[in-house]
Each structure stands twice: as structure tokens, then as C-alpha cells.
Amino acid sequence: AVDIGFSQDMIVHHEQAVLMAQLVRGRTADPKIAALAAGIESDQLLEIGTLRGYLALWDAPVLPAGPPMTWMADHQHGAAMPGMATTAQLNRLRSAKGAALDRMFLQLMLRHHEGGQPMLSDAAANAAIPAVRALASRMSFHQGEEIRTIQALLATTQPS
């Protein structure tokens, strides 16, 4: 249950990160933010493909049938997936420009990555299949690195 639930929920979580990266990548003037967005898009599309492959092998649906994160023992059932941007926030990101675009992207992505960490930690500890545990652990490490990069970039961007 952990392996399937994690794979399904992480696909949903990653798809939003890919969308946010795509919304900013071609519109930012900051090469560091463009590189960060391109890296997030590339890495998470690859991970989505891996997770979809696992689900296909297990003959499991790509989308969860019920509320998110029910596979996690410590999650409050019915609670929203942490770190997800709202439709209103995504719409503001779509229309933002310049420094406001950069700062909004960094803030949303920081919250998004931090919100995904509990899922990654839980799967790394509790998935039944070693390859899923290893993938979750690698994803957690990599996103931790991106969190530090985002924090450093936020420290150098102007508040809007």
C-alpha cells in the first residue's frame, strides 16, 4: 500500500512542480532561476516516468482512488497534500513578471518541496520494495539540495 500510494501521490505532487517550473523557466531574466526551473522540470519528469512505470508493473492506477496520503500512518486523513499551490496562486504565477515572478516562484517551490519531504521520508522508511525506498531517499536528498538553493536565491531577490 505504501509503494502504490506514494507513487500515485508523488506523481500528483511532481506534476504541479513541473507546471510551476514550466511557467517560470522561459519568462525569468535570472539565469540561476531559469537553470533551477529547468532542473526541476527535467528531474521530476524523469521521476514521474519511473513512478508511472512502477504503477504499470503493479497494474495499479496512476491516480489515487481516494484522498491523498492515506498510505501514511501519521497523516490526518482528508487533509490536503502539503505544499501544493492553490489555483489562485498558480494564476498569480502565470501573470507575474520580473522580480515578482522570480520571488513568487521561489516561495511557492520552497513550500512545495518542503511539503513533499514528509511523503519522501515516509516512503524511504516504509515502502516494501527496496527500489521504491531508494528512489524516495534519493528524491528527498535532491530536493533538500534544491531547498537550500532556493533559500539562497530568496536571500538575494528583492521582496515585491
What is the reported pLDDT for 81? 86
What is the reported pLDDT for 124? 97
- Summarised one tens digit per residue, pLDDT across range 137-146 is 999 999 999 9
- Summarised one tens digit per residue, pLDDT across range 91-105 is 999 999 999 999 999
Smallest Cα–Cα separation from 5: which of 85, 144, 117, 120? 120
What is the number of other CB atoms lying within 10 angstroms of the CB of residue 90? Answer: 15
Judged on CB neighbours under 10 Å (0-12, 13-18, 19+), 159 is exposed
Q: What pLDDT band is residue 123 in, cutting at 50, 70 and 90?
A: very high
Q: Tell me the percentage of the chain whose pLDDT exceeds 90.
A: 84
What is the reported pLDDT for 78? 64
Residue 38 in this model has a pLDDT that exceeds 70: yes
What is the reported pLDDT for 34? 97
Residue 160 in this model has a pLDDT that exceeds 60: no
pTM of the prediction?
A: 0.93
Angle between helix 2-25 and helix 130-156 axes, rounded to 10 deg: 30
Residue type, 151: Q
Interior/surface letters 109-126, b for 16+ CB within 10 angstroms, e for the rest: bbbbbebbbbbbebbbeb
Residue 43 in this model has a pLDDT that exceeds 70: yes
Question: Which of the residue ranges 14-18, 106-110, 154-158 would you say has the lowest mean pLDDT?
Answer: 154-158
State mean pLDDT over 32-39.
97
Task: Give the Cα separation of 58 and 64 in Å (integer).
Answer: 14
Smallest Cα–Cα separation from 58: which of 114, 116, 6? 6
- Summarised one tens digit per residue, pLDDT across range 63-86 is 988 888 888 877 666 678 889 999
